[in-house]
């Protein structure tokens, strides 16, 4: 199993090697679907391609599944083929937000769902690349030869709304504490959290430098249970917690992709406000 993180200096050396990885730039700005690609064109890691949260990492948000439902398997395979992704070439996913949240979603979709054997996330994101004075490229990248990869998707790590309603699993919420407690809700129909859930804001996975904490610290801090489902607002930041569980050497929780955006849109489903019933870092 490949380690899911790569540091900036190791990435620079890998890009200068005879077998460089393909870097997928996942930058996004919520509320502006064109911003991520525009930022990538302004400056990006040499040879990288843009992997878009709305176009490539999500399906249409016009039905069930929340604000960022998964694309269909055929649509995601088509995106990967368009970008020339194949299991023979290592991948590195990057973005520039605190915690590399869209990149964490890409890591989960590529590695866990689609089964690519060699996916790593740039620890510290593009800020770490700047710190080592890494090279930048401007403008559109040269077209790549499309691939013919047909991933064998593994759906065992996904839980549906109906399954979650009927289960007794521990639900771990990756949103900020104030959203979990229902003090604010800037995006979704109702405030609060899924009843019985515990709060683990994904920001707690990082140290003061914006890097992931050591495995021992993550193992000590992450909520424990025999069966865990990770969720957040729309199935993006929950993937950051999933990556933290992988780094800690723990069994990987399943992902509720619809997350609070789907749950809160059904007025028949209950919501809780206030802190977790059981102790959890918050």
> Which residues is 255 bridged to in the sheet?
158, 230
H, E, C per residue of 184-213: CCCCCCCCCECCCCEECCHHHHECCCCCEC
Q: Which helix (DSSP H) or strand (DSSP E) does residue 41 occupy?
A: helix 35-42
Q: How far apart are CA 269 and CA 282, in angstroms?
A: 24
Q: Which two structure tokens, joined as six digits, stand for 225? A: 């249970």
Which pair of structure tokens corresponds to residue 86?
Answer: 């194949």
DSSP string computed for 216-277:
HHHHHHS---SSEEEE-SSSSTHHHHHHHHHHTTPPPPEE-SSHHHHHTT-TTS--B-SS-S
Distance, CA of 44 to CA of 108 (rounded, Å) = 22
CA distance 88 to 80: 13
Please name the residue ranges forming H helices in 108-151.
125-131
Distance (Å, rounded) from C-alpha 273 to C-alpha 51?
Answer: 35
Among candidates 182, 187, 2, which has minimal Cα distance to 90? 2
Of 26, 202, 232, 239, which is the active-site residue? 232
Residues β-bridged to residue 248? none
Is 232 catalytic? The answer is yes
Q: Mind telling me the catalytic residues?
A: 232
């Amino acid at each position: 199993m490949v380690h899911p993180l790569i540091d900036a200096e190791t990435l620079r050396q890998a890009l200068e090697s005879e077998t460089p990885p393909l870097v997928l730039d996942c930058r996004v700005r919520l509320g502006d679907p064109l911003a991520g690609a525009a930022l990538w064109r302004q400056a990006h890691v040499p040879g990288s391609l843009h992997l878009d949260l709305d176009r490539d990492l999500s399906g249409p948000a016009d039905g069930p599944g929340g604000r960022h439902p998964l694309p269909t398997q055929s649509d995601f395979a088509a995106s990967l083929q368009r970008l020339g992704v194949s299991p023979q070439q290592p991948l590195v996913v990057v973005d520039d937000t605190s915690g590399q949240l869209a990149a964490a979603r890409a890591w989960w979709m590529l590695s866990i769902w689609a089964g690519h054997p060699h996916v790593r996330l740039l620890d510290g994101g593009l800020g770490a690349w700047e710190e080592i004075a890494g090279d930048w490229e401007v403008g559109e990248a040269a077209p790549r030869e499309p691939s013919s990869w047909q991933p064998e998707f593994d759906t065992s790590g996904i839980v549906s709304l109906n399954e979650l309603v009927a289960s007794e699993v521990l639900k771990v919420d990756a949103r900020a504490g104030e959203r979990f407690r229902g003090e604010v809700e800037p995006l979704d129909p109702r405030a609060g959290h899924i009843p019985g859930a515990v709060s683990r804001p994904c920001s707690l996975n990082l140290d003061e430098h914006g890097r992931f904490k050591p495995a021992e610290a993550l193992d000590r801090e992450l909520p424990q249970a025999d069966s865990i489902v990770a969720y957040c607002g729309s199935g993006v930041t929950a993937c950051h917690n999933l990556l933290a569980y992988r780094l800690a050497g723990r069994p990987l929780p399943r992902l509720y992709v619809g997350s609070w955006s789907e749950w809160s849109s059904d007025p028949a489903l209950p919501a809780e406000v206030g802190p977790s019933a059981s102790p959890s870092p918050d």
